[in-house]
A = this chain, B = another copy of it.
Amino acid sequence: MNLPTHVQLVDVGPRDGLQNEKQFVPAGVKIELVRRLRAAGLKHIEVTSFVSPKWVPQMADNAEVMRGLRRSIDDPRDVRYAVLVPNLQGMDAALAAPREEWPDDVVVFASASEAFSQKNINCSIAESIERFRPVVARALEHGLAVRGAMSCTVGCPYEGEVAPERVGMLAKLMKDIGVQHVGVADTLGVGTPLKVQRALDAALRHYGVDQVSGHFHDTYGQALANTLASLELGIWQFDASVAGLGGCPYAKGATGNVATEDMVYLLHGMGIETGIDLDALIDVGVYISVALGREPVSRVSKAVRAKRVG
């Protein structure tokens, strides 16, 4: 086994995690969450999205969040901020701010399942890719990096199992429009290790191992097993969400994004570096969970805090 010695985690909590929260989280709390994640050692954070506030009211404060995170252009950019962008309008909105408030990465997205694409964003996969073509071009023109989030790469709430070939086709479409990195997402959390490896293998036919990341949901408790299976393919980049922020819109009350805390525990336990301070990260999870009035959804957080109180 040729496991990576270092893993880069992207905390998607501030965006993917918070976006489905009904209660509006003030921009100040979002900014503080990002700052604390950074202080805990996260080097890559998905901070907001430039979608219509009609679709996602929680992200209506995107410009304010970016302003709060502004960095001098001469700053050594030791952290990367990513934002999700659904169309050219969103891309332009992100670029309308002064350069100090731009993100480093733009995330575009498409589904490996045709039915999901239709139901979720009302257009075919091919149409969604065409919509992103000018977005990718504009981002690259402005020196931003572009990541593609590929959803439903293992299972779809409408189609059931998704064939790896569909993932390969989508990766190729992403590649064709200039997307530099793809994330293989098990949006429903239904994947198990061999299926996840097949989805990753399909992406790896079009992207190098340094351009593919895993994004796993823990709905069925499989996320860490799937992470191990990914590490065994040499994958060293993963998304995760502090405190397991996010839930699962397809199974109410069920777990969503894998908790960053659980990922860090796995990786450090295997001697794989992340640059993250687990204890500090657990405190960040408590910070945002208190703000949301709930418990962190992370077994590591729970176990470590149970030990702290003795």
A residues contacting B by CB (< 8 A) are 189-195, 218-222, 224-225, 227-229, 248, 250-255, 259, 262, 265-266, 269-271, 298-300, 302-303, 306-307
Could you tell me the distance between the alpha carbons of A228 and B229 in the complex, rounded to whole angstroms? 8
Q: How far is the CB of A176 from chain B (nearest CB, A)?
A: 32
Question: Which partner residue on chain B sits nearest A306 by CB separation?
Answer: B251
Chain B nearest Cβ from A247, distance in angstroms: 11
A271-B194, A306-B254 are known contacts. Are A265 and B228 too (CB-CB below 8 A)?
no
Residue in contact with A299 in the complex, picked from B194, B219, B270, CB distance below 8 Å: B219
Q: Contacts A221-B265, A222-B224, A251-B302 given; 16 further ones with Cβ under 8 A?
A: A192-B265, A193-B228, A193-B269, A194-B269, A219-B299, A220-B300, A220-B303, A221-B259, A224-B225, A225-B266, A228-B228, A251-B303, A251-B307, A254-B303, A254-B306, A255-B303
Please tell me if the beta carbons of B221 and A299 are within 8 angstroms of each other in the complex: yes
Once the chains are docked, how many angstroms separate the CA of A232 from the CA of B87?
44
Q: Which residues of B contact A255 (CB under 8 A)?
A: 299, 302-303
Q: Are A262 and B194 in contact (CB under 8 A)?
A: no
Sample 22 A-B pairs with CB under 8 A, ordered by A number.
A189-B303, A192-B269, A193-B228, A194-B269, A195-B269, A219-B299, A220-B299, A221-B259, A221-B299, A222-B224, A222-B262, A222-B265, A225-B225, A225-B227, A225-B228, A225-B266, A228-B228, A228-B229, A251-B303, A252-B306, A254-B299, A255-B302
Minimum distance in angstroms from A49 CB to a CB of chain B: 26
A299 to B220, CA, bound (A): 5
In angstroms, Cα B244 to Cα A221, docked, is: 12
The CA of A307 and the CA of B224, in the complex, are separated in Å by: 22
Measured CA separation A255–B251 after assembly (Å): 22
Name, among A193, A271, A299, A303, the residue most crowded by chain B CB atoms within 10 Å (CB to CB). Answer: A303
Contacts A220-B265, A221-B265, A224-B224 given; indicate if A193 touches B270 (C-beta within 8 A): yes
Contacts of A189 in B (CB 8 A): 303
Question: In the assembly, what is the distance between CA of A295 and CA of B79, in Å?
Answer: 41
